[in-house]
Structure 1
Amino acid sequence: MSLPLTEEQRKKIEVNRQKALARRAEKLLEQHQNAGSGSSITTHPSQSKPGAFQNLPRDPSKPVSHGVIFKQQNPSSSSPGDQRPHNPHSVHVSTSEQAEGMWKRQEEMSTACPHHSPPSQMPLTGISPPLAQSPPGVSIPQLSGYELGQSHPQASHGTKSTPFANTTHESLAKAKSSQDTPASSSGQLPKDPELETTAAKPSTSGQNISDVHYGSGQVTPRTEGRLQQKLGASLPKAVSSQEGICVRNGDRFQVQIGYNAELIAVFKSLPSRRFDPATKTWNFSMNDYSALMRAAQRLRTVALQPLEGASSVAQTSLPSASSLRFVKGQCMLISRARFEADINYSEELITLFKQMDSGNYDVKTRKWNFLLEDHNKLIERARCLPQVQLSPLPKTLTLAFASQMEKTSLCPTADIPEADLSRVDPKLVSSLLPFQRAGVNFAIAKGGRLLLADDMGLGKTVQAICIAAFYRKEWPLLVVVPSSVRFTWEQAFLQWLPSLSPDQINVVVTGKDRLTTGLVNIVSFDLLSKLEKQLKTPFKVVIVDESHFLKNIKTARCRAAMPLLKVAKRVILLSGTPAMSRPSELYTQVIAVKPTFFPQFHSFGLRYCDAKRHAWGWDYSGSSNLGELKLLLEEAVMLRRLKSDVLSQLPAKQRKMVVVIPGRISAKLRASLDVAAKEMTTKNQSKGQQREALLLFFNRTAEAKIPSVIEYILDLLESGKEKFLVFAHHKMVLDAITNELERKKVQYIRIDGSTSSADRESLCQQFQLSERHAVAVLSITAANMGLTFSSANLVVFAELFWNPGVLMQAEDRVHRIGQLSSVGIHYLVARGTADDYIWPLIQEKMKVLGEAGVSEGNFSEMTETTDYVHKCLPFL
């Protein structure tokens, strides 16, 4: 069984068949004329009537074109181009007899060719009376249905019309276009100077049947495009045509229409074509407008509306882009109360700007700016200027600044109302610094949905816990964090919310753990993507620490987190560096807080990422309108304070205990840790035996902490931390850190016991002055004095040490003269290791030194966490 033909195959067969029929009809007519012995039917010049059909003798040496043309003869003189002698055998016939003879000839030619069922016909109107007479056996309605490229009305039963009929229809269309003139009303056709002049020129050989016609007794070329244009203006499109529209876009225009294979082929033939995959539309230069419209009018399946202001493309060409002096621009937000028009010079537009009451010209930027309340009025008036296209502010901005657009008396720095925190634990509320309390007020004023982007060390964790506690009635709470700080968050909740018990906090450690068993559920980004089946029950309150981890929407962590954030009632995002390098990284965080802002990334990219289209697609790696983006984020999404903004409220040092869990260690090492821990609990040991057991435990701890330490350092680098110090004691830990930094291609310096004095100073200056070196890997005992690293403001202790005085000296490598910021100090403490004994010991010794007045104060009170173990070693 054969497969049915496609539409393109059927069209191709039809075209080939028409060409064959044309050649056959031409040959038959030539044979018929040769058999006529040179005689023809014509009218005597003295008795001819306007509009009469003429069948002229031809030169056998020249090709023949099968067509007629309506030509008004001059009764007093013959055409100057007619050099042939008058045929004495010519006879005089009436107009109706001429038409009858023509129809008979067509019927003879039509019956010689096979025919298929004719296509749908459309009536022709406005035919002059002499032409409206029906041929023998053909009614006027049948004649009216005779259309260009269609079959003879009588040839529907096994016959097919020839190209001769097409030329006849061109003549009918010519008569139609003149129906409103006096000549047509009286049965006469008007004189066409262009066609008459063309007809006077002798024809050349090799012309196609559709390119020549008879007139004044000789074959002449037809004026190119003349009849096609008039036919296109007189004949309507098919009923089943596909409709589209042309829309101007600056110096180009866009075609908005559904898919059409024929039209796509036309698009691809134009040199200025461009396809936009984002909008799935084609656009072109204004220079190709006329060519496109002419080609589209030849397609029966397409009805393309012209550009606004272009009434008839076939008859008049559109002015070039340069002659239009078209200007295009956009409105941009410059403050919470004003916007500016970023557009080229236009005299009409400047006149409009001067008419606006709030208009103000900035001599520095050379741009006009206005109050937001005049935005809609300005855009409405600018649309009345035909050569101006001023794009309004995006809908996102008009929604975010709706109050300013309605009322300009709003103070740009309106105070956020004070939130009622009576339902939050008093210990937490009393511990908030003034700027932290302001952050909580901002979040509650925004309905618990915000991006808290405070600088590192400003207490984002404590603010987030306070905000979440305000909505405690909507718990259970989900906290999504990097895996290296899961247990740090657990300790923070226990410290700041005493009303919580440890059993109410669920830390997800493996993919087999339940996500919803606790009142507070803490999970890492990586594990969240593996717990998709447990995410069907949404959380109403969600905290995301280091939310810049969601910057790439294609990652598994982002795909898992975004659905949760969009349906949650309260979303608290935390990040000291929301965007690492470009504005596109902000998009996922913006829509997580405000899902209605920029539903499509493309619109965000065009506005703020300087989107550019290349052969391979769109490039969103740039940046644009950053001032406007900052205003939008600060108004509706983000709260950000730098250390320099609140330095007077910060302590000189901010210590933080980071709880880590030894992971990915071998079974042998795990067993040795268990043995060392058991040895520490053995009773009846001397002080020497206890010291020896703790030293062994300390060595085993160093090896066990390496994976967690490296993970934390990499998290800091990914968070955008520029420079920081890492202190460690054991050589194996220093080696592991530097090896990982080399593998990640992170530049660093290292100073340990093997570094010479000259090299120490050289490396120190290299770190201080170079922006490329991000990490200084230092030995606690070899680099705790005599060095200055004030270019950094963060110190990480990968290991603890017995003597707290040594730790204090190491801290002061950063906290020195020249330091302009508060210093952050992070102590990594591992559970189930020797740190369980050493950390409480350090706190106790610092307390004693503080009471004696030889230390800066209580070490425990200055550390942002609680003591989760209380061991006592009297021998140290």
Structure 2
Amino acid sequence: MSRSGQRTSPTRPQQRKNRHANNDGLIPVLARKVREVEAKAADGKKLGPTNRTKFQVIAFLMREERARAKSDPELSDAARAEQLKRLDGIATILAKTAARDTSLISLLESESPSTATAQKMRRDWLLESGTELSPDDLIITIERPVTKQDSVIPPELADKQVVPPSVKARQLSNPFLAPDFSRLSPAAPTPRRRLDSWELLGPLFKSFEYGAGGQAASMDLPPAPPIDRYSPQGLELMHHQSRFIESVRLGHRSFLLADEPGLGKTAQSVLAASVAGAYPLLAVVPNVVKMNWAREVERWTPHRRATVIHGDGEGLDAFADIVIVNYEVLDRHLSWLSTLGFKGMVVDEAHFIKNLHSQRSRLVLGLADAIRSTTPDPLMIALTGTPLINDIDDFKAIWQFLGWIDGNKPTATLMEHLEETGLTPADFGFYAAAREAVIDMGIVRRRKLDVASDLPSRRVVDLPVELDDELGRSIRQAEKELAARLVTRYQRAAAAGRPAGFEGDDDAHRKHLIRLVAQSELEESKSAKSGENVFTMVRRIGQAKAGLASDYTAQLARSVGKVVFFAKHIDVMDAAEEAFAARDLKTISIRGDQSALSRQKEIDAFNNDPEVAVAVCSLTAAGVGLNLQAASNVVLAELSWTAAEQTQAIDRVHRIGQEEPVTAWRIIAAQTIDSKIAELIDAKQGLAARALDGSDVEVGSADSVQLDALIHLLEDALA
């Protein structure tokens, strides 16, 4: 690292003076260190922070030394080959160690040691090997995490900033934020505390590793109120959701809400903002769920407006109550987001910011500090079903976002809780007490099993996604062209007049023509060898959704374990399997061309092998006769044409012996025919419910979903 804290260039190793007094000096040091790390991993336990850092530094120095050996003109070919052979031996030990503890694999991807401890270790080993270091190499510097003193907008992003017209209108209508008079009073000097001289962050992290005592990491929540006063008419909060909302009503303002997927974290956040009056609210979310966020705002707080930032802010409503932005476009909207006067902030899938040194994390934490600097006690919620992925240090960025820590020390509120324990890290019982103190800051964790009585045994949750890439635009254009073709056919049929003997008024004749035109289009589509029709359009929608559906499935797999991924087309399955492999998620595949023996082997691997995370299944080939109940989450990446096919797919998981409520996540392409198809499938399910289950659900059309979809498309175009 340079003096300024920025990463050095790859040429830095060549800046050292007289690289080695003895060319073999570093390799023996690395060989000794890698054996130490290997021995620690031999017992099957995950490595602790010190040995993880050792592992990272060994990998970094080994790459440096390999590059030096390959380019050093003073080495003979024989000496060069010998050094590379010895380095290969070190690399083999690293690989074996990473195979025992797979969380180490991500450290191999790091370009350089990133912590002060890692830099010091690197420097000391080089000196031990006889390397003569330059003055710059002797200095330990580290890029520190964002604090409220840092600029929200990094210099390299200054030129990317955009201010949508709607934001300018809001700024002109209200150029000043409401003043905070509480800040005019000088703060009372902080008295010296008993724990001020202790390093506390390390013990706090260790308290979650060693201080659990079998207790779940979830704060005590108040009982649910007897009457639900917060959900709108027609909706009802579940018991565990009501308890969270009640905690907000009573004044709690910072939460790590780590409920498992499917327990309504988005709805809880939306209602928390309403109860706390935390408007305007900023929601930073993954791209795959930003449309669902807008829908949940409309559903749970219909009196509030949400706006979604797309690209440079086209169509943005800066006067909305909730501003929703995905991580990928955050970098160009910092200038106005940091000054709009938000009263709260929600970060969805908060494990996305676990790397404190990534740009994404710095931007999110900078915005959080900007909100805290203008709003006393803002509502801050981090949502994630997976707060910890590789290491206990993954907590650090989330705690910083919530204002529980500042850099490497607890903030005043957490410090007060720790002082109240009356203990220090040297005392027996400190870890359990410290863990409880952090949990009371606002950690809420419920599993499906914990709240099973709240949940139906099986439910389908629609997740609308936006196809905002070139393929998505082409799909919408093709849909318009298909609608125009249907309108042309309808106009020709209408011009021919009523058929002889037709009885009925003009409205009946109109409906008759719409149905005839749609039926004719459907029959032609079934026999068409090429061209755009309802079948090819739905297939293209499936291809366009594949990446987003895979992203969401990967998030689920990291959060709750095994997931079953259903798709209709082989190319969508192929794309999903490639995406999962890129994320180091082990998969099995159920396809139509497998033998019975091969298929059973895949099923057994999914149900019995803890390393297998996702079953990628054909909707037609795997929809019947399979038992995949090792999972309780299903992702429907493509829609079926029949309600029965969808039900059969979900029932691969929802079977006798399933101990958890089953959630099927249906990925829906918003603003396309996909949305209507999902609605039609649900209407068809009403027929079975009425005929077989005695339900009084209204029965929809008896036509096929394809025909109904074309009728809907034509009716919309005519309207």
TM-score range, shorter chain: 0.5 to 0.7
1:496 aligns with 300
1:827 aligns with 2:634: no
SS at match of 1:802: coil
Could you tell me which amino acid in structure 2 is paired with residue 427 of structure 1? Q
What displacement does 1:700 show?
Answer: 2.1
Could you tell me which amino acid in structure 2 is paired with residue 601 of structure 1? N
| Distance change >3 Å, CA 556–CA 414, structure 1 → 2 | closer
| Distance change >3 Å, CA 741–CA 640, structure 1 → 2 | closer
Which protein has the bigger strand share?
1
| Distance change >3 Å, CA 489–CA 582, structure 1 → 2 | same
1:688 to 519, 523, 537: 519
Question: Do the aligned partners of 2:254 and 2:381 also contact (CA within 8 Å) in 1?
Answer: yes
2:326 aligns with 524
What displacement does 1:711 show?
Answer: 2.6
Write the distance in 2 (CA, Å) between the matches of 1:276 and 1:510.
42
1:257 aligns with none
Could you tell me which amino acid in structure 2 is paired with residue 579 of structure 1? L
Write the distance in 2 (CA, Å) between the matches of 1:855 and 1:735.
41
SS at match of 2:406: coil
| Distance change >3 Å, CA 592–CA 393, structure 1 → 2 | closer
Question: Do the aligned partners of 1:840 and 1:871 also contact (CA within 8 Å) in 2?
Answer: no
What displacement does 1:459 show?
Answer: 1.2
SS at match of 2:692: coil
2:392 aligns with 583
Could you tell me which amino acid in structure 1 is paired with residue 551 of structure 2? L
| Distance change >3 Å, CA 675–CA 455, structure 1 → 2 | same
| Distance change >3 Å, CA 644–CA 420, structure 1 → 2 | closer
Greater CA drift, 668-677 or 718-727:
668-677
1:812 aligns with 651
SS at match of 2:470: coil
SS at match of 1:450: strand
2:289 aligns with 485
1:445 aligns with 250
SS at match of 2:233: helix
What displacement does 1:727 show?
Answer: 0.9
1:505 aligns with 2:312: no
Query: Which whole-Å deviations, capped at 9, do the CAs of 1:299-331 have from their partners, x for residues lacking one?
Result: xxxxxxxxxxxxxxxxxxxxxxxxxxxxxxxxx
What displacement does 1:482 show?
Answer: 0.5
SS at match of 1:774: strand
| Distance change >3 Å, CA 732–CA 803, structure 1 → 2 | same
1:702 aligns with 539
Question: Do the aligned partners of 1:723 and 1:794 also contact (CA within 8 Å) in 2?
Answer: yes
Could you tell me which amino acid in structure 2 is paired with residue 460 of structure 1? K
Write the distance in 1 (CA, Å) between the matches of 2:573 and 2:686.
30
SS at match of 1:427: coil
Q: TM-score, normalised by structure 2?
A: 0.56
1:551 to 350, 354, 357: 354
Query: Which whole-Å deviations, capped at 9, do the CAs of 1:599-624 have from their partners, x for residues lacking one?
Result: 232789xx9xxxxxxxxxxxxxxxx9
What displacement does 1:826 show?
Answer: 0.6
1:676 aligns with 2:482: yes
Alignment of 1:237-248 (within 5 A): none
Question: Do the aligned partners of 1:841 and 1:872 also contact (CA within 8 Å) in 2?
Answer: no
SS at match of 1:632: helix
Let me know the Cα RMSD of the aligned residues: 3.9
| Distance change >3 Å, CA 538–CA 552, structure 1 → 2 | farther
SS at match of 1:521: strand
Question: Do the aligned partners of 1:794 and 1:825 also contact (CA within 8 Å) in 2?
Answer: yes
Percent identity for Structure 1 against Structure 2: 25
Write the distance in 2 (CA, Å) between the matches of 1:797 and 1:733.
11
Question: Do the aligned partners of 2:483 and 2:713 also contact (CA within 8 Å) in 1?
Answer: no
Write the distance in 1 (CA, Å) between the matches of 2:252 and 2:478.
51
Could you tell me which amino acid in structure 1 is paired with residue 543 of structure 2? I
Alignment of 1:346-365 (within 5 A): none
What displacement does 1:756 show?
Answer: 1.8
What displacement does 1:763 show?
Answer: 0.9
1:838 aligns with 2:677: yes
1:296 aligns with none
Question: Do the aligned partners of 2:219 and 2:442 also contact (CA within 8 Å) in 1?
Answer: no
SS at match of 1:478: strand
Could you tell me which amino acid in structure 2 is paired with residue 799 of structure 1? E
Write the distance in 1 (CA, Å) between the matches of 2:696 and 2:597.
35
1:539 aligns with 2:342: yes
Greater CA drift, 664-673 or 559-568:
664-673
What displacement does 1:651 show?
Answer: 1.0
Greater CA drift, 456-465 or 661-670:
661-670
1:657 aligns with 462
Question: Do the aligned partners of 2:588 and 2:606 also contact (CA within 8 Å) in 1?
Answer: yes
Write the distance in 1 (CA, Å) between the matches of 2:474 and 2:202.
62
Question: Do the aligned partners of 2:518 and 2:710 also contact (CA within 8 Å) in 1?
Answer: no
Q: Higher Cα Rg: structure 1 or 2? A: 1
| Distance change >3 Å, CA 702–CA 551, structure 1 → 2 | same
Alignment of 1:427-438 (within 5 A): 427=233, 431-438=236-243
Question: Do the aligned partners of 2:219 and 2:439 also contact (CA within 8 Å) in 1?
Answer: no
Write the distance in 2 (CA, Å) between the matches of 1:570 and 1:420.
25
Write the distance in 2 (CA, Å) between the matches of 1:554 and 1:515.
32
| Distance change >3 Å, CA 758–CA 422, structure 1 → 2 | closer
Alignment of 1:45-64 (within 5 A): none
| Distance change >3 Å, CA 688–CA 781, structure 1 → 2 | same
Task: Report which structure shows greater RCO (CA 8 Å, sep ≥6).
Answer: 2
2:446 aligns with 641
Write the distance in 2 (CA, Å) between the matches of 1:810 and 1:801.
10
What displacement does 1:276 show?
Answer: 11
2:586 aligns with 747
What displacement does 1:853 show?
Answer: 2.9
Alignment of 1:400-411 (within 5 A): none
2:264 aligns with 459
Question: Do the aligned partners of 1:396 and 1:598 also contact (CA within 8 Å) in 2?
Answer: no
Write the distance in 1 (CA, Å) between the matches of 2:365 and 2:289.
21
Which protein has the bigger helix share?
2
Write the distance in 1 (CA, Å) between the matches of 2:614 and 2:405.
38
Write the distance in 2 (CA, Å) between the matches of 1:759 and 1:433.
43
Write the distance in 2 (CA, Å) between the matches of 1:871 and 1:626.
63
Could you tell me which amino acid in structure 1 is paired with residue 482 of structure 2? A
What displacement does 1:851 show?
Answer: 1.9
What displacement does 1:585 show?
Answer: 0.9
| Distance change >3 Å, CA 699–CA 601, structure 1 → 2 | farther
Write the distance in 1 (CA, Å) between the matches of 2:139 and 2:222.
44
List runs of 5+ in structure 2 lacking aligned partners. 1-137, 143-192, 205-217, 373-377, 415-428, 491-512, 527-532, 700-707, 715-719
Question: Do the aligned partners of 2:219 and 2:440 also contact (CA within 8 Å) in 1?
Answer: no
1:599 aligns with 406
Question: Do the aligned partners of 1:796 and 1:826 also contact (CA within 8 Å) in 2?
Answer: yes
Write the distance in 2 (CA, Å) between the matches of 1:423 and 1:582.
40
SS at match of 1:529: helix
Write the distance in 1 (CA, Å) between the matches of 2:639 and 2:522.
16
SS at match of 1:543: strand
| Distance change >3 Å, CA 420–CA 678, structure 1 → 2 | farther
Question: Do the aligned partners of 1:795 and 1:826 also contact (CA within 8 Å) in 2?
Answer: yes
What displacement does 1:530 show?
Answer: 2.1
What displacement does 1:818 show?
Answer: 2.2
Write the distance in 1 (CA, Å) between the matches of 2:438 and 2:219.
15
Question: Do the aligned partners of 2:255 and 2:442 also contact (CA within 8 Å) in 1?
Answer: yes
Write the distance in 2 (CA, Å) between the matches of 1:859 and 1:710.
35
Could you tell me which amino acid in structure 1 is paired with residue 284 of structure 2? V
